[in-house]
Amino acid sequence: MTATERPGLPLRHRRGLTVADAMEPWTHQIADDSTVDRANDVLRGSGAGYLLVRDHDGRCEGVVTRTGLRSAPARPRHTEHTGRSTVGATAHQRGPFAWPTLGLALAAVAMRVKRLTVWPVVDEDGYPLGVLTADRAAFLLAAPGGGAEG
């Protein structure tokens, strides 16, 4: 047995956890050309903390939160309703995104540095595969036999 293998763990975990081991399916999404009002309605109705933003081809554009939606360009109420601003025009998290083969420990560090609570996981063509949450990464890395080498 090598120093990186751990008895009792499946082979794929013996060399450290990856993002693929920790990612979860995304539950809510919105098109980047949807209005801010529509995004707020989806967030309120779903109780979700974020929405995965997809472009017109279905590729991942980023993640938007309630805070990001509040940053929509302000317009006077008498000229245009703020709901006409699009999600794509908000200050939302954009790439680069995580990929499934990225080491989980490295992904957790990147999330801390970027101050991310959720990070989209995409394939080589930019299509979303799932999301990595900071809580899930921390939980798995703290578990006995987590992602630390040794």
Domains and CATH numbers, the chain: 15-142 (3.10.580.10)
pLDDT digit string, tens, across residues 101-132: 999 999 999 999 999 999 999 999 999 999 99
Whether the CB-CB separation of 104 and 137 falls below 8 Å is answered with yes
Does the predicted model carry a pTM greater than 0.85?
Answer: no
Please state whether beta strands 128-133 and 29-31 pair in parallel, antiparallel, or not at all (unpaired): unpaired
State the virtual CA torsion across 91, 96, 101, 106 in degrees, nearest 10. -80
pLDDT digit string, tens, across residues 4-41: 434 444 444 435 899 999 999 988 999 999 999 999 99
* Spatial distance between the Cα atoms of 114 and 106, rounded to a whole number of angstroms: 12
